[in-house]
Amino acid sequence: MMQLLENKTCIITGASRGIGQAIAKLFYNNGANVALCSRSLDGLGEGFEDLFVDTSRVFCSNIDVSQKDQCQVFVEAVKEKFGGIDVLINCAGIITREPTLELSQEIWQKVLDTNLNGTFYMSQLVFARYAEKENW
Ligand SMILES: NC(=O)c1ccc[n+]([C@@H]2O[C@H](COP(=O)([O-])OP(=O)(O)OC[C@H]3O[C@@H](n4cnc5c(N)ncnc54)[C@H](OP(=O)(O)O)[C@@H]3O)[C@@H](O)[C@H]2O)c1
């Protein structure tokens, strides 16, 4: 039986744990090729074979989405491996729980660089490639 996301390539950023990893599992289990990233591959490696048995449908990379050049390399590599990109889930993010008065400028900048700039970079790079997919 054809699965919902069969032959669809889905990028999920921040997929090493939490919401991103849950989405990655759901998409993979519905037949998608999944391209996953986070800064550290630690979480992606933990129990990885159990989560994603068919490794031909999985691509992992440790990148920092706040760095545009790293996003670019990742997106190109995904396109190279799977031939195109259908879905982007921007899940990489930093959660800060410091009260506003105690939040340093440095941490606040990191939040903006990751949650806003990272989402912008990935979206711009992927949207530019949606139309290029073969057999769209
Ligand atoms: N959990 C909630 O209740 C909730 C509610 C509303 C919104 N959100 C938002 O939803 C997103 C995911 O939440 P979550 O609870 O799943 O968070 P989480 O468990 O902390 O996971 C965050 C993921 O993002 C990755 N990440 C962080 N900075 C990154 C960077 N610069 N480049 C690439 N990957 C990066 C982390 O891996 P590395 O550390 O290895 O990079 C991790 O895989 C966040 O943006 C959060 O603000 C969460």
The CATH number of residue 91's host domain is: 3.40.50.720
Report if residue 136 sits inside a domain: no
Closest C-alpha to ligand 1, atom 34: 38
Report if residue 2 sits inside a domain: no
Instruction: Compute, in angstroms, the gap from residue 64 CA to the centroid of ligand 1.
Output: 12
The answer to pTM > 0.85 is yes
Count of the separate structural domains present in the chain: 1
Q: Who lines ligand 1 at CB under 6 A?
A: 13-20, 37-40, 43, 64-66, 91-95, 114-115, 118
Closest C-alpha to ligand 1, atom 10: 91
Q: Could you give the 3-state DSSP secondary structure of residue 60?
A: strand
Q: Containing domain of residue 93, as a range? A: 9-130
Mutation probe of ligand 1 site: the residue of 16, 48, 109, 113 with most atoms within 8 A of C-beta: 16
Q: How confident is the model at residue 45 (pLDDT cuts 50, 70, 90)?
A: low
- pLDDT, one tens digit per residue, over 74-125 is 999 999 999 999 999 999 999 999 999 999 999 999 999 999 999 999 999 9
75 exposure class (CB count in 10 Å sphere: 0-12, 13-18, 19+): buried
Report if residue 4 sits inside a domain: no
In the chain, the N- to C-terminal Cα span, in Å, equals: 21
- Whether 34 contacts 57, CB under 8 Å: yes
Tokens of residue 43, six digits: 């979480």
**Atom number in ligand 1 closest to CA 62:** 33
